[in-house]
Chain A
Amino acid sequence: MKAKIEEANQEAVSRIQRAKPTLVDVSTAGEAIPGMKKNMILHAGPPVTWERMCGPMRGAVIGGMILEGFARNMQEAEALAASGKVLFDSCHHHSSVGPMAGVVTWSMPVWVLENKTFGNRAYCTLNEGLGKVLRYGAFSEEVIARLRWMAEDLAPALKKALLRHGAIDMKSLIAQALQMGDEGHNRNRAGTSLFIREIAPDLVMLDESREKIAKILTFIHGNDHFFLNLTMPTCKCTVDAAASIEGCSVVTTMARNGTEFGIRVSGLGDQWFTGPAGMVEGLYLPGFSAKDAAPDIGDSVITETAGIGGFAMAAAPAIVKFVGGSARDAVRYTQQMYEITVAENDTYQIPTLDFRGTPTGIDLLKVVETGILPAINTGIAHKEPGIGMVGAGLVHPPENCFHDALEAFAEKYGK
């Protein structure tokens, strides 16, 4: 049995390494996302009911309903949400990922990523910016207005620019970003810069006013995390190709909805194993502290699942102060991750570790055996909807997810 599992894991990792995640289009959720419905609202993390949703996610859902015109205000939105007339589902069930609350509604623009090697696609909304935004649960007029601008101006321009430019090889961009101090989850400044460099000439050449293009470039420039909404679906379509391999113990999904943390294992198909969402340990922006923090939330942990983010911590000196204070700490976390992964990435490399490839392919069995849980670099949301990010730091999944998954795995494959 051990040999079979090893073989299956090697296959999974091989598929991950051979992925060619490519930005091919900008579309809308309704047009592009498989299984999407007009009255469907997708959210981050494993499935969760309206009743159990945390503050920020509820706020985002309310905002999404107002955006789509299902409700005019919070009260109507809440009533509708509780009525059952709106369908809630995990982004992950629709080849999608969403940061923080991760709410996706019919009309929202989405990036379209295609894994050229295997043909599978993944989707993600465009990043709105920092502070009072939908993904942190804000739903004020300002938020809605911005979302509309993104749908009406930003996305169509980017779509045309991309068409002009041609598909973008995301692996190459991310590999470069990792060598410029990014890790792809909590630090995306280099990636955002590289993206602007890539797309700017094509935006400029569009038949649009200078003011419009300037506003777009300024918008992207002002949001260091713009690139996050590209790294996430890149990682999603990379890892999805390794899903549902018989006998494979590689973790192909990690995600949180603010209430629960969930994982899925390749050899166990679509089954979620969940545990209580944890509290992030880190540093807070002035004026905020641990008592303001929401539990861990978002699909952005798909980056760690694919071998970047916290798994490339040693590549991001800026992250260092959030995880203990010394470069040594960041390196140590990355070194620990090598113990729970199957392979070293052949494209994403870490300069300070002599360009060693990032730890790739989380092995469920190794996680349980060593007791080392995946290290996740993440932002901290305020627990009240609509206030925004209050800090950043380090979090681990609840270990029971892995224990439960092991039970199921041994049940299915043990002799």
Chain B
Amino acid sequence: MDVKKIRELFSKELVVINMGLESFADNLRKEDVKVLPMDWKPPAGGNKRLIALLEKLGR
């Protein structure tokens, strides 16, 4: 169980990508955390067939 990367995370500044509820990004900003809020939406417009096709291709 190699925890080198976690130790790295603990020793650096958090740089966060926020995927989902925007309030989480807002709150992180208030705490001076560097955060990039995403404009996330369901992949392929939520179209199940297309998502299945993408998964067939390894995405």
Cβ–Cβ contact A414 & B56, under 8 A: yes
Contact partner of B56 among A369, A370, A410, CB < 8 A?
A410
**Interface hits, B9-59 → A, CB 8 Å:** 41, 43-45, 47, 50, 53-54, 56-59
Cβ–Cβ contact A5 & B58, under 8 A: yes
Answer whether residue A338 sits at the interface, using C-beta atoms and an 8 A cutoff: no
Cβ–Cβ contact B58 & A406, under 8 A: no
Cβ–Cβ contact A407 & B59, under 8 A: no
Question: Which residues of B are found within 8 Å of A410, using beta-carbon distances?
Answer: 53-54, 56-57
User: Taking each of B43, B44, B47, which has the highest tally of chain A beta carbons within 10 Å of its own beta carbon?
Assistant: B44
CB distance from B8 to the nearest CB of A (A): 26
**Chain A interface (Cβ within 8 Å of chain B)?**
1-3, 5, 365, 368-371, 403, 406-407, 409-410, 413-415
Question: Which residues of A are found within 8 Å of B47, using beta-carbon distances?
Answer: 403
Question: Which residues of B are found within 8 Å of A369, using beta-carbon distances?
Answer: 43-44, 54, 59
Question: Which residues of A are found within 8 Å of B41, using beta-carbon distances?
Answer: 371
Query: Secondary structure of the A side of the interface?
Result: helix
- The number of chain B residues touching the other chain, given as a range, is 10 to 19
Question: Which residues of A are found within 8 Å of B54, using beta-carbon distances?
Answer: 365, 368-369, 406, 410
**Can you list 13 contacts pairing A with B, beta carbon distance less than 8 Å?**
A2-B57, A365-B59, A368-B44, A368-B50, A368-B54, A403-B50, A406-B50, A406-B53, A409-B53, A410-B53, A414-B53, A414-B57, A415-B56
Query: In the docked arrangement, what's the CA distance between A370 and B54, Å?
Result: 12
Question: Which residues of A are found within 8 Å of B58, using beta-carbon distances?
Answer: 1-3, 5, 415
Cβ–Cβ contact A1 & B50, under 8 A: no
Question: Which residues of A are found within 8 Å of B44, using beta-carbon distances?
Answer: 368-369, 371
Query: In the docked arrangement, what's the CA distance between A403 and B56, Å?
Result: 14
Query: In the docked arrangement, what's the CA distance between A414 and B56, Å?
Result: 5
Cβ–Cβ contact A5 & B50, under 8 A: no
Query: In the docked arrangement, what's the CA distance between A307 and B58, Å?
Result: 26
Query: In the docked arrangement, what's the CA distance between A409 and B50, Å?
Result: 12
Question: Which residues of B are found within 8 Å of A371, using beta-carbon distances?
Answer: 41, 43-45
Q: Which residue of B lies closest to A249 (CB)?
A: B57
Question: Which residues of B are found within 8 Å of A5, using beta-carbon distances?
Answer: 57-58
CB distance from A374 to the nearest CB of B (A): 16
Query: In the docked arrangement, what's the CA distance between A415 and B47, Å?
Result: 20
Cβ–Cβ contact B53 & A407, under 8 A: yes
